[in-house]
């Protein structure tokens, strides 16, 4: 079945699952776990997301995120690319660290917020890695035990719903014997976890709030990006294939399509290229960013310039 397009609206609850490429380990040392958590804190703050739960397992990651007015793709692209670049450089590797497209399940908050916080934080217990979640260092469980907001998790919302720290600890203890819950993954239309009609309501909400990622015209955005890169808009839109112009054109296309959310066909049309060519350039730049920190840093800088 073809994969469905991502849906976005502010205030949605996403259960995000990221797996290692070919099920390989994505964390080989304590430093790796810390590097991912540091980046999660950075991008969570940059895009204004709330993290209700997280758990880093050796070859996959679970995140429970509540969206701001910024698309989930922005946070995840920055987080995944930044960590991939760090991992490849640290371990002298090349290629993809994570397995293709991450899964992002939109969940009904009233029914699943508390359940998923517990389920995610008990992942290491179900896997037989520890006997109690308190013994696992790479999850958000401790923020709830300490009832203290940190760089990643602010437990206030959940603790208020569940009766404070003591209520949370009782709730987690009650779920210690639970096994894997396939119902959390068997979702409607590959995207929704909720009662009948939940997906339709989310779709309607997303359609009602859908807008062009920037009120500024595509011409204005490209003009600003070209200026930052020291090239002219005319050169970027020309048939010139010199390295400087080609690199600038590719970086502009990447920021427009991957960071700002413009449709690839719209970007390709403006640049006087066919969609397949632009898609290939964007994909190749993504691959290059996995191992070249300079490209990733430059893309982050360009994105911040036009997002501000």
Q: Where are the domains of the chain?
A: 13-209, 218-307
Confidence of residue 14 (pLDDT cuts 50, 70, 90): very high
Helix, strand, coil shares of the chain, percent, nearest 5, are 55, 10, 35
On the question of pLDDT at 205 being above 80, the answer is no
pLDDT exceeding 70 applies to what percent of the chain? 88
pLDDT at 196: 58
Confidence of residue 153 (pLDDT cuts 50, 70, 90): very high
Q: If you average pLDDT over every residue of the chain, what do you get?
A: 86
Domain 13-209: CATH superfamily, name plus number: Transposase IS200-like (3.30.70.1290)
> What is the mean pLDDT of the segment spanning 99-117?
88
pLDDT at 42: 94
Name the pairing type of β-strands 103-107 and 192-193.
parallel
Confidence of residue 213 (pLDDT cuts 50, 70, 90): very low
> What is the mean pLDDT of the segment spanning 30-40?
97
On the question of pLDDT at 203 being above 80, the answer is no
d(CA 20, CA 102) in angstroms, rounded, equals: 10
CA distances (Å), 144 to each of 31, 85, 225, 308, in order?
A: 23, 31, 43, 33
pLDDT at 214: 45
In b/e form, how buried is each residue of 235-252, taking b as 16+ CB within 10 angstroms? ebbeeeeeeebebbbbbb
d(CA 176, CA 183) in angstroms, rounded, equals: 18
Q: Out of 1.10.1750.10, 3.10.129.10, 1.10.3720.10, 3.50.50.60, select the CATH number for domain 218-307.
A: 1.10.1750.10
Both tokens of 307, joined, read: 């997002």
pLDDT at 285: 83
d(CA 239, CA 231) in angstroms, rounded, equals: 14
pLDDT tens string 59-102: 999 999 999 988 898 899 899 999 999 999 999 988 889 987 88
Whether residue 278 contacts residue 268, with contact meaning beta carbons closer than 8 Å, is answered with yes
d(CA 223, CA 231) in angstroms, rounded, equals: 9
């Amino acid at each position: 079945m073809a994969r469905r397009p991502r849906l976005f609206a502010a205030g949605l609850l996403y259960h995000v699952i990221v797996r290692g490429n070919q099920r390989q380990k994505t964390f080989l040392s304590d430093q790796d776990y810390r590097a991912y958590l540091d980046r999660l804190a950075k991008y969570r703050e940059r895009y204004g997301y709330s993290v209700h739960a997280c758990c880093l397992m050796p070859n996959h990651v679970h995140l429970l995120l509540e969206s701001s007015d910024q698309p989930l793709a922005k946070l995840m692209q920055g987080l995944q690319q930044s960590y991939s670049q760090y991992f490849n450089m640290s371990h002298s590797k090349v290629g993809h660290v994570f397995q293709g497209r991450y899964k992002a399940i939109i969940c009904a908050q009233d029914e699943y917020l508390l359940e998923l916080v517990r389920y995610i934080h008990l992942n290491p217990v179900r896997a037989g890695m520890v006997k109690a979640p308190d013994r696992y260092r790479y999850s958000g469980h401790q923020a709830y035990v300490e009832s203290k907001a940190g760089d990643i998790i602010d437990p206030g919302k959940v603790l208020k719903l569940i009766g404070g720290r003591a209520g949370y600890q009782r709730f987690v203890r009650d779920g210690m014997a639970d096994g894997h819950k396939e119902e959390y993954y068997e979702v409607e239309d590959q995207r929704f976890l909720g009662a009948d009609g939940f997906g339709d309501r989310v779709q309607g909400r997303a359609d009602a709030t859908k807008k062009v990622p920037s009120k500024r015209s595509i011409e204005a955005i490209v003009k600003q990006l070209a200026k930052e890169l020291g090239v002219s808009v005319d050169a970027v839109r020309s048939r010139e294939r010199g390295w400087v112009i080609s690199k600038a054109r590719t970086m502009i296309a990447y920021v427009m399509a991957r960071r700002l959310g413009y449709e690839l066909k719209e970007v390709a049309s403006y640049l006087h290229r066919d969609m397949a060519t632009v898609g290939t350039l964007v994909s190749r730049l993504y691959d290059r960013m996995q191992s070249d920190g300079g490209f990733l840093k430059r893309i982050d800088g360009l994105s911040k310039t036009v997002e501000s």
